[in-house]
């Protein structure tokens, strides 16, 4: 195999020892060239090499976006060594979280087609997007990270939960109005993958290769309801709650912003409206065979 390994040294889980061990394993069986984190350069110049991302969902997002921009998304598969903070796409695809084991999956060469969500501004989602309180919590936590490190998110969640009454979002799934805006929404999720935040099952029924996105809408805006929703969310039991609705579709539109959003772990704002459309089997990942 001819590999172009993209090392994102800013990803949360990357360590020099792990990086060296992965490169040693790959070089033992493949022709390896290393590129330091420049997804756009990799998309332009990888030629007949298989790009292999050493990082998390954000790193994969950057590479796939660059490949799409350069018209090379269907040129060949992408490898993934999950060395980010959350690694949620790897979890959904069954790629081992141990970097050395993931390297062996890359070398095995099994290709799995994966869907992609593309929005009306040309942006993408490889794993999941969520809008509302979860993204608001991450937004509030960001300035606290230098002081509180990992505890910043917990503090941000408290501040976000205490300071919001929800958002009057209007949501359509395949043209059907599923959320009118009359009830405030605590959180809405659009999942190609099943989990966010390092294993939290926001859209537990999502499958990355069925041509559909899973949509979850929570109306749990009261103080006790928010607490109960958070508990259920951690265990993947929230879809059974009476104040949560789930849908599946190929075209999802969210309107009524501005609302904070997290797209593959990166924070942004959704202004008045955004539409995501599922492109089935848009790209391929080197992953274990589906059992």
Encode pLDDT of 85-142 as tens digits: 789 999 999 999 999 999 999 999 999 999 999 999 999 999 999 999 878 777 666 6
**Strand, helix or coil at 239?**
helix
Q: Is pLDDT at 155 greater than 70 in this prediction?
A: no
pLDDT confidence of residue 279: 98
Report, in this order, helix, strand and coil percent for the chain, each rounded to 5: 35, 35, 35
Q: What percent of the chain has pLDDT over 70?
A: 87
- The pLDDT tens digits for 14-66 are 558 889 999 999 999 999 999 887 777 777 766 789 999 999 999 999 999 99
* Cα separation values, 137 from 83, 126, 274, Å: 23, 22, 21
What confidence score (pLDDT) does residue 201 get?
94
pLDDT class of 249 with cuts at 50, 70, 90: very high
Element (H, E) at 82: strand 79-82
275 or 257: which leads in pLDDT: 275
Q: Which residues pair with 196 in a beta bridge?
A: 200
SS3 call for 127 = coil
User: What is residue 237's predicted lDDT score, i.e. its pLDDT?
Assistant: 94
Q: What is the pLDDT of residue 75?
A: 87
- Find the mean pLDDT for residues 198-219: 95
Alpha-carbon span 145 to 206, nearest angstrom: 31
pTM: 0.89
Which residue is it, tokens 């269907």? 74
Residues ≥6 apart with Cβ < 8 Å to 266: 58, 61
Q: Other C-beta atoms within 10 Å of 95: how many?
A: 23
pLDDT at 152: 47
At 41 the pLDDT is 77
Termini Cα distance of the chain: 25
Considering only the C-alpha atoms of the chain, give the largest distance between any 2 of them, rounded to a whole number of Å. 60
């Amino acid at each position: 195999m001819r590999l172009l390994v993209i090392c994102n040294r800013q990803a949360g889980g990357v360590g020099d020892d792990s990086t060296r061990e992965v490169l040693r394993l790959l070089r033992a069986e493949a022709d390896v060239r290393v590129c330091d984190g420049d997804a756009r350069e990799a998309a332009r110049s990888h030629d007949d090499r298989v790009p292999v991302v050493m990082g998390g969902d954000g790193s994969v997002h950057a590479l796939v976006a660059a490949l799409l921009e350069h018209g090379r998304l269907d040129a060949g598969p992408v490898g993934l060594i999950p060395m980010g903070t959350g690694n949620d796409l790897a979890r959904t695809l069954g790629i081992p979280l141990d970097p050395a084991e993931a390297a062996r999956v890359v070398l095995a060469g099994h290709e799995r087609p994966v869907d992609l969500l593309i929005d009306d501004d040309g942006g993408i989602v490889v794993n999941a997007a969520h809008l509302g309180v979860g993204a608001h919590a991450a937004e509030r936590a960001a300035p606290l990270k230098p002081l509180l490190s990992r505890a910043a998110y917990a503090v941000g969640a408290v501040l976000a939960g205490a300071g919001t009454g929800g958002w009057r979002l209007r949501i359509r799934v395949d043209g059907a109005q599923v959320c009118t805006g009359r009830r405030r929404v605590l959180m809405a999720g659009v999942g190609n993958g099943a989990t966010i935040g390092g294993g939290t099952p926001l859209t537990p029924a999502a499958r990355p290769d069925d041509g559909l996105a899973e949509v979850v809408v929570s109306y749990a805006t009261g103080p006790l309801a928010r607490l109960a929703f958070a508990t259920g969310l951690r265990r993947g039991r929230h879809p059974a709650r009476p104040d949560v609705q789930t849908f599946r579709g190929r075209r999802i539109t969210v309107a009524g912003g501005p609302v904070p959003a997290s797209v593959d772990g990166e924070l942004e704002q959704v202004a008045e409206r955004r539409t995501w459309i599922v492109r089935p089997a848009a790209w391929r990942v080197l992953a274990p065979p589906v059992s």
